[in-house]
Amino acid sequence: MMEFDILSLSACSFMKKPSFTSISRCHHPRGFSLVELLVVIVIMTILMTMGAMGIRNLTGGKGTSTALANTEAVFAEARATAIGRGTSARVLIDYRDINDQSNYLRRIVIAAQDIDPVTGLPIATWSLASRGYTLPDGTFFSLNLSKRSGNGVAAMQPEMQTFAKVSDAGQYVVYEFNSQGLCTTPGATFVIGAGARPKGSAPLINGAAKRDFAGFAIWGNGETSTFRNPAQIGELSTLKNF
């Protein structure tokens, strides 16, 4: 009987409800202080800012690289057009309207010199030979960095381009291939880069975009060669616009 009572008392002691003080300690842990919360907010802000900068730089570089590859394909198409048609062909960079946000220093087309159907000889007018290609948003052709010849002195300059369709005529930057597919300005360079363009103004180069430039040279045989060294592109440290 005594043994039963001892066991009963032991069981009762285990079943005893916890005191109010114990419950309070378990269910009311200490919260974060104001200083701790501020530290967490500052750290999160720094990480978000760094992430945003990294994404911007990554997409900028990717856009320039993709645009360069597509532009080299345009030059190859122009060369093939010249050989296939037996006439001169040009790669034209749109320079017609500085207020045109979509095309100015971004739109690239191919034009072929028209042939007189009677004589079979080239005439003064040209016609578009492709639908063209537009550089990605925030990517522009650089007049200052693109050179007319291999000596790296004379920059490319826009010139008046005539078309059989009058509405296509205007100022363009011109790269030309003759009927044999040879470049008429051997050693000329083509450079594009990332930047910003306020409406009605030339594109501007900001500090973060100075490394987002790429380009290639066009040799006498019409082939292109991508720049592997940033020094081949030109001096970017003091350049402020395209």
Tell me the per-residue pLDDT of 191-236, one tens digit each, with 9 for 90 and over. 999 988 888 888 888 765 557 899 999 999 999 999 988 888 887 7
What CA–CA distance (Å, rounded) separates 181 from 91? 12
- Residues contacting residue 134 through CB under 8 Å, at least 6 positions apart: 102, 103, 106, 107, 108
What CA–CA distance (Å, rounded) separates 105 from 198? 13
pLDDT of 116 above 50: yes
Query: Domain 34-233, what fold?
Result: minor pseudopilin epsh fold (3.55.40)
Query: What are the boundaries of each domain within the chain?
Result: 34-233
What CA–CA distance (Å, rounded) separates 30 from 19? 20
Q: What are the pLDDT digits (tens) for 128-187?
A: 998 889 999 999 999 989 998 866 678 899 999 999 899 999 999 999 999 999 999 999
192-to-103, 129, 228 alpha-carbon distances in Å: 14, 23, 14
- The two structure tokens encoding residue 210: 């100075």
- Do residues 76 and 52 lie in contact, with contact meaning Cβ atoms separated by under 8 Å? no
- Residues contacting residue 194 through CB under 8 Å, at least 6 positions apart: 60, 63, 64, 138, 139, 209, 212, 213
pTM over 0.75: no
Task: Tell me the Ramachandran region of residue 181: left when phi exceeds 0, alpha when psi lies from -120 to 50, beta otherwise.
Answer: left
